[in-house]
Chain A
Amino acid sequence: MAEKARGTFFPMMLLCTICMETVDELGKMFIFLLDALRLMFAGWGQFSKMVRQIYFIGVQSVSVIALIGLFSGMVMGMQLYFALSTFGADGFLGTAVAMSMVRELAPVLSAIMLTGRAGSAMTAEIGVMRISEQIDALTIMDINPMRYLVAPKMAACLLSFPILTAFFNLISLWGSWLTGVKLLGANEGAYWASVQSSLNWADVEGGFIKSIIFGVLVCTICCFEGYYTHTRSGHAGPEGVSQSTTSAVVKSCVAILAADYILTSLLW
């Protein structure tokens, strides 16, 4: 009887434990985020650190974003041209590409690329600093590690993500023009006119809001995973850092896609 009861309760207890651990981690992450936001402008010394991070997260990602934007635009131009020309509606190519890129694909794809390029680097950097006692050294020197390490990264993400998304938009529209108009022969005037007429400020604004929220999510998750890499049970040292980096990238991508769905439902 006791065995049967234990068999019934075990999955429920496991589920409860997982739920409680998830809520606990989300709570810690939220406090971590608030702390980073609070410390972003704590003193003039923050400015130079922010500039360095903007260079790393923003400027150094331009080439990757340009490539991804170009190719995804080219693919979209080609696929949508084939689909629309079946109905003789290739004049709507600009509308279809612009709407899908500006509203959805540009914020999501740039955030995922930035997670891979900058987010993983943030986790690894902070994780290595944690296991080599550099974060302890900062604490001992009475330098708040959150202010010194995390807050400038948060500021850089808040600024870089929307700018890179805007850049992605431009490049992808150009890429789609390249395949749809120049390669497959859609009307150039109709393409640009439909891009211009179909987009309104709410679409652009929505894309920017998404990219800012994705920036906050990526920075929080990646920095959090690195900062608490030493608390990973059974995975101390370099293995812990690699586990944290993997976990940060996976969680960030899932969070981006989940947030994208929620934001799309709320914004439009």
Chain B
Amino acid sequence: MSTAPGIRLENLTIGYGKTAIVSDLNIEFPGGKLSMVVGGSGSGKSTLLKHVLQLQPSIDGKIFFGEHDMDSLSRRENHCIRQRTGVLFQDGALLGSLRLKDNIALPLREHTRLKEEQIMHIVKDRLSMVELGHALELFPNELSGGMRKRAGLARALVMDPQVLLCDEPTSGLDPVMSAELDQLLLEMMRHFDMTMVVVTHDLASMRALADFVVILGEGKCIYQGTIETLEKTQDPYLRRFLDRAPEERHAPRLTMPPLDPAMLKRNCNNFLGEKETVRKGG
């Protein structure tokens, strides 16, 4: 039985300024489980994450971490919750001026009284977990996209969080690396006994990992529940989303003729023609 707290949203309306993007959300992300928030581009997934993290003020409604209402927390309680919440940003959000080891050590140096040897021991442990034990001395700009995400995960895990929030962890990664990162997230969730909320539009990840799914679209929550129930749905919007079927268009998409080559400032016809000839000849 997990002791990790759940996250509850009550009548939450999110957006920027007074412009609402998603209205009236009533969702409970279960504690100790992996929940996924999916939806099309611009559906408000990342905005929801920013509101849950209190980086943006909500327009209306409440957010609860366990039993704690985030709006009525004392300063100390707020610090405690922040220190036990890990976040994996889309591009890792590692501090560019610090080496990898210092990036990972930063929360420990700021919030604990551990000695430097103990801090480095934990840093090495976390980096080995994400298979970056060899990259301690590197700067973030010397890492590949996948390595940056894994380093971001190591930093998110360094304070043994009870809640881990991930913003599109597999975006920009190849399918094999995406699957590896998914597996890593799952292992970490089990190892640290965490509540995990992952924002993604990767349906393969959702099918492989999710215990609980939330789908956002058309400015509201369209679905919340298990993946099994979702797969059986006959709702046309959800079906189209799950089957990756684009909306049927009645009007033709391409209405303009191709650009007349004579309109170009430099005539590239001969150059392209020669290339074509060479290719055909070869």
Instruction: Show the binding face of A for B, using Cβ within 8 Å.
Output: 45, 125, 128-129, 132-134, 136-143
Selected from A45, A137, A142, A143, the residue in CB contact (under 8 A) with B93 is A137
Would you give the shortest CB distance from A24 to chain B, in whole angstroms? Answer: 15
The answer to whether B139 has its CB under 8 Å from any CB of chain A is: no
CA distance A128 to B50 in the complex (A): 19
For A140, what are the chain B residues with a Cβ–Cβ distance below 8 Å? 53, 55, 82, 85, 87
User: Contact between A141 and B79 (Cβ–Cβ < 8 Å)?
Assistant: no
10 tightest Cβ-Cβ pairs between the two chains A and B: A142-B82, A137-B93, A133-B93, A140-B87, A141-B107, A133-B89, A142-B83, A143-B110, A134-B93, A142-B79
CA distance A128 to B87 in the complex (A): 20
For B155, what are the chain A residues with a Cβ–Cβ distance below 8 Å? 141
Interface string of B99-135 (1 = CB under 8 A from A): 0000000110111000000000000000000000000
Best-surrounded residue of A128, A132, A140 (most CB of chain B within 10 A): A140
Interface SS majority for chain A: helix
For B87, what are the chain A residues with a Cβ–Cβ distance below 8 Å? 137, 140
The answer to whether B177 has its CB under 8 Å from any CB of chain A is: no
Instruction: Show the binding face of B for A, using Cβ within 8 Å.
Output: 50, 53, 55, 79, 82-83, 85, 87, 89-91, 93-97, 106-107, 109-111, 155
With A141-B107, A142-B111 already in contact, the answer to whether A132 and B82 are too (CB < 8 A) is no
13 contacts between A and B (CB under 8 A): A45-B109, A132-B96, A133-B89, A134-B93, A134-B94, A137-B95, A140-B53, A140-B55, A141-B107, A141-B110, A142-B82, A142-B83, A143-B110
User: Contact between A134 and B55 (Cβ–Cβ < 8 Å)?
Assistant: no
User: Contact between A139 and B91 (Cβ–Cβ < 8 Å)?
Assistant: no
User: Contact between A143 and B106 (Cβ–Cβ < 8 Å)?
Assistant: yes
Would you give the shortest CB distance from A239 to chain B, in whole angstroms? Answer: 19
User: Contact between A45 and B110 (Cβ–Cβ < 8 Å)?
Assistant: yes
CA distance A136 to B85 in the complex (A): 13
CA distance A45 to B90 in the complex (A): 29
CA distance A14 to B89 in the complex (A): 41
CA distance A143 to B94 in the complex (A): 14
Would you give the shortest CB distance from B144 to chain A, in whole angstroms? Answer: 16
With A140-B53, A142-B79 already in contact, the answer to whether A133 and B106 are too (CB < 8 A) is no
Closest to A142 in B: B82
CA distance A259 to B96 in the complex (A): 35
Would you give the shortest CB distance from A168 to chain B, in whole angstroms? Answer: 29
Q: A141-B82, A141-B83 are in contact. List 14 more A-B contacts (CB 8 A).
A: A45-B109, A128-B96, A132-B91, A132-B93, A132-B96, A134-B93, A137-B87, A140-B85, A140-B87, A141-B107, A141-B155, A142-B83, A142-B107, A143-B106
CA distance A143 to B111 in the complex (A): 9
With A129-B95, A142-B79 already in contact, the answer to whether A137 and B110 are too (CB < 8 A) is no
CA distance A97 to B82 in the complex (A): 57
Closest to B50 in A: A136
Selected from A129, A132, A136, A143, the residue in CB contact (under 8 A) with B107 is A143
